[in-house]
Every structure is written in structure tokens, then in C-alpha cells.
Amino acid sequence: MEMPMEKKESRTGAIIGTVAAVVLCGCPGLIGLCLGATFLLAGSIPGAEIDIFGSSDPQSALLMGVVSLCGGLIFIAIPIVVGVLTLRKKKPAAGMEEQLPPAA
């Protein structure tokens, strides 16, 4: 059974929106997670040379790592929410069924 043309068009728009959200939010989110893990690791190594915006304090590296991890998680959650909301099957409204003319 084929979908009507207007359903195909809305489905295509939903897929394009989801792919755009993945490229624009998901990929930077993954990079943020990697950088956050690196900052946390560098902040926890004793004697490491740390330079976070001119500060050599390990606490600044730890803070930067936690902030990057939280931001990365938020950026990864955005495409998931967009995909769920746009690609789910919507239930038809209660009184909106198509009325067919009576057969003659």
C-alpha cells in the first residue's frame, strides 16, 4: 500500500530535519564528549602541564571537562528528540476521518 503524496513529502521533510540535526548538533556533541574526557584525564594526572585559557590550575581543566561533557550530552540529545518527534506516526484526530459519499 503506497502512501499519499502529501504524506511522502512530510516524511521526507522529517528525515531531512533529522539528518540536519544530527550533522549540526550530534557531531559537535561527540567532539565535546571527546574533549571533555581529555580535559578530565589531563586534570587528574599529577604533574601534567595544563594551560586552560592561561590558567595552569588542574581544577580549571576538571571544570572545563565537566562543562564539555554536559554540553556534549545536551547536543547529542537534541537529534534524538528531533528524530523521535518528527518520525513518529501521528494518530489521526477524533473527528477528522474522511467522509466518503454514499454508494449509489
**What's the chain's Rg over C-alpha atoms?**
24
- Beta-carbon contacts of residue 67 (< 8 Å; ≥ 6 apart): 36
In the predicted model, is pLDDT for residue 96 greater than 60? no
Average pLDDT estimate for 55-67: 90
User: Residue 88 has what pLDDT?
Assistant: 82
Range from 16-25, 41-50, 51-60 that averages highest in pLDDT: 16-25
The closest of 52, 18, 17, 23 to 38, measured between CA atoms, is 52
Query: What contacts 100, CB < 8 A, 6 or more positions away?
Result: none
CA-CA distance, 103 to 93, in Å (whole number)? 25
